[in-house]
């Protein structure tokens, strides 16, 4: 693991864990299946709490994504200098490409879902259902790919 | 002792009260038949006029009977055991609370007027049709929807009956009927629990330019429906005229139902509990989300700025 990526990996990992938990908590399942009864997890059954946490973490995740994408771009631009981890030849792993696609899908659908939730905004009913299902699908893809790269110890860049 | 007669007298002597009904009908028709209007439809409920006859309650049932559930028994067993079976199908005639078969009920309240007189009031209660309805916005499947005219409703073809809308609703309005709906075709033992039901503003009648059934049926013209700006003005004028109080204008960030009462709402004594909504002040439940939306705009900009800052620092160091 490249040392200077460590802090961003920790932020990303924690954000992903709690944004996924608060996201799945939007479905009324944690109470039904006793998960919210586990001490310390009661908040998972409080819809306004999980809603706010999901939004706040989405802000963190988007901030981190913007930072990482631009940082990667600049690092490639300045390859050959002291920053040697990323060069012009650095490739993004296939699993990481899938994760990036899923993250992009989550951010785009999430953006429209946040807009829809503002007062006075009416999206067609089919669009709302589509956004809900796509957002869930992208989350499953991201979590699946993350589990794979975690087990296989795959890094984002080759 | 309560005296409904004096309460009625209180209103019937009000010249304003008579005026409202006429103006009200005009406002309603204008708004309901106008497609161009971008304003939401709002109802004014003058509780001082209501005599508790329940005509509205029965009109609601008749107009919406075709939407009610007809569940087949026995219901599939649900796991784990804590999942509650909510069955109103054998108690469809209950009218003293909200149920999946009773979307409007008459709440009895008592109060003391400024003059020290004890009065009783009857209050038609149903969904408030919030301007930014959490039941709709937080529904994880998009089963609940809000239409451009502001009414919110739950699609019984899509709802899985998880009851999140009821928990999100500051008044616990939606009511569940187990054993009906889409969940039966999915994993009835492990996910879902029926369909949630509530007042849908008689959308099928509004679509045809008609008035909601409860408004049409009321012999006392308790409710008036119309454009938001018209109804707010009317409600404020009425409150001023009767030296009364308003509920619903600011509750939960604003609703499309405005009650006007001759006594302060916090002084009303009424039965509340399951299926019997309160009349407390309600803060805007969606406000935190709306405020955090701003953070979501700022965060990527901050992230990008941090990356640019880092780049320039490094360029300087290496220069
Ligand atoms: S009163 Fe409750 S059910 Fe009605 S729109 Fe508001 S949140 Fe939804
Ligand atoms: S608007 Fe229609 S559905 Fe709602 S309470 Fe009145 S009659 Fe019932
Ligand atoms: S029909 Fe009118 S007067 Fe009778 S209970 Fe309903 S709102 Fe009150």
**ipTM value of the model?**
0.90
**pLDDT given for residue A90 in this prediction:** 77
In the structure, what pLDDT confidence band is assigned to residue A76 with cuts at 50, 70 and 90? confident
Residues of A with CB below 8 A from B296's CB? Answer: 55, 58-59, 62, 111, 114
- Could you count the other beta carbons within 10 Å of the beta carbon of residue B283? 11
Cis status of the peptide bond prior to B80, with omega within 30 of 0: yes
DSSP state of B286: T
Query: What spacing in Å lies between the alpha carbon of B45 and ligand 2's midpoint?
Result: 13
What is the residue with the minimal CA distance to atom 1 of ligand 2?
B201
Radius of gyration of chain B, Cα coordinates, nearest whole angstrom: 23
B198, B253, B282, B289: which to mutate for ligand 1, most atoms within 8 A of CB?
A: B198
d(CA A140, CA A117): 22
CB A45 within 8 A of CB A30: yes
Nearest Cα to A26, choosing from B266, B139, B267, B193? B139
B28-52 pLDDT per residue, tens: 444 454 444 579 999 999 999 999 9
pLDDT beneath 50, residues of chain B: 1-31, 33-36
d(CA B246, CA B241): 12
Is the pLDDT assigned to residue A83 strictly greater than 90? no
- Could you count the other beta carbons within 10 Å of the beta carbon of residue A88? 10
* Domains of chain B, start order: 38-282 (3.30.70.20)
d(CA B304, CA B297): 12
pTM of the prediction? 0.90
A101-126 pLDDT per residue, tens: 999 999 999 999 999 999 999 999 99
Q: Residue B225 pairs with which residues in a beta bridge?
A: B43
Distance of CA A42 to the CA centre of its chain: 23
d(CA B126, CA B174): 9
Residue of B nearest to A47 (CA): B168
Q: What sign does the dihedral B170-B174-B177-B181 (CA atoms) show? A: negative
In the structure, what pLDDT confidence band is assigned to residue A80 with cuts at 50, 70 and 90? low
Radius of gyration of chain A, Cα coordinates, nearest whole angstrom: 18
B41, B134, B135: which to mutate for ligand 1, most atoms within 8 A of CB?
A: B135
| Domain spans of chain A, in order of start | 1-90, 91-158
């Amino acid at each position: 693991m490249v040392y200077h990526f460590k802090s961003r990996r920790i932020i990303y990992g924690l954000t992903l864990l709690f944004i996924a938990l608060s996201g799945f908590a939007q479905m009324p399942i944690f109470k039904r299946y006793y998960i919210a009864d586990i001490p310390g997890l009661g908040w998972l059954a409080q819809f306004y709490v999980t809603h706010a946490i999901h939004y706040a973490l989405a802000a963190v995740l988007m901030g981190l994504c913007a930072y990482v994408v631009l940082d990667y771009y600049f690092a490639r631009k300045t390859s050959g200098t002291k920053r040697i981890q990323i060069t012009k030849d650095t490739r993004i792993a296939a699993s990481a490409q899938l994760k990036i696609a899923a993250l992009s899908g989550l951010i785009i659908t999430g953006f429209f879902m946040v807009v829809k939730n503002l007062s006075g905004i009416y999206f067609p009913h089919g669009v709302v259902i589509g956004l809900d299902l796509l957002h869930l699908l992208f989350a499953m893809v991201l979590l699946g790919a993350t589990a794979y790269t975690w087990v296989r110890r795959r890094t984002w860049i080759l | 002792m309560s005296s409904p007669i004096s309460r009625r007298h209180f209103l019937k002597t009000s010249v304003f009260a008579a005026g409202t009904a006429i103006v009200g009908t005009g406002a309603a028709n204008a708004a309901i038949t106008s497609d161009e209007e971008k304003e939401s439809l709002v109802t004014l409920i003058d509780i001082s006029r209501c005599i508790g006859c329940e005509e509205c309650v029965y009109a609601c049932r008749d107009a919406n009977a075709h939407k009610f559930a007809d569940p087949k028994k026995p219901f599939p067993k649900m796991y784990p055991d804590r999942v509650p079976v909510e069955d109103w199908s054998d108690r469809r005639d209950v009218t003293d609370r909200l149920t999946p078969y009773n979307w409007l009920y008459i709440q009895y309240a008592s109060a003391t007027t400024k003059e020290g007189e004890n009065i009783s009031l009857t209050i038609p209660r149903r969904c408030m049709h919030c301007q930014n309805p959490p039941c709709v916005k937080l529904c994880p499947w998009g089963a609940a929807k809000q239409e451009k005219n502001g009414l919110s409703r739950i699609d019984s073809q899509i709802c899985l009956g998880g009851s999140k809308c009821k928990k999100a609703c500051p008044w616990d309005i939606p009511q569940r009927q187990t054993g009906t709906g889409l969940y039966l075709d999915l994993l009835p033992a492990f996910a879902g629990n029926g369909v949630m039901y509530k007042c849908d503003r008689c959308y099928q009648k509004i679509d045809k330019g008609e008035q909601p059934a409860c408004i049409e049926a009321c012999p006392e013209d308790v409710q008036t429906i119309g454009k938001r700006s018209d109804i707010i003005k009317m409600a404020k004028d009425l409150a001023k005229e009767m030296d009364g109080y308003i509920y619903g204008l600011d509750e939960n960030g604003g609703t499309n139902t405005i009650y006007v009462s001759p006594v302060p709402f916090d002084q009303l004594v009424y039965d509340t509990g399951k299926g019997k909504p309160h009349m407390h002040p309600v803060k805007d439940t969606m406000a935190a989300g709306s405020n955090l939306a701003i953070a979501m705009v700022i965060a990527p900009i901050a992230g990008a700025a941090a990356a640019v800052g880092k780049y320039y620092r490094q360029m300087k160091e290496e220069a």
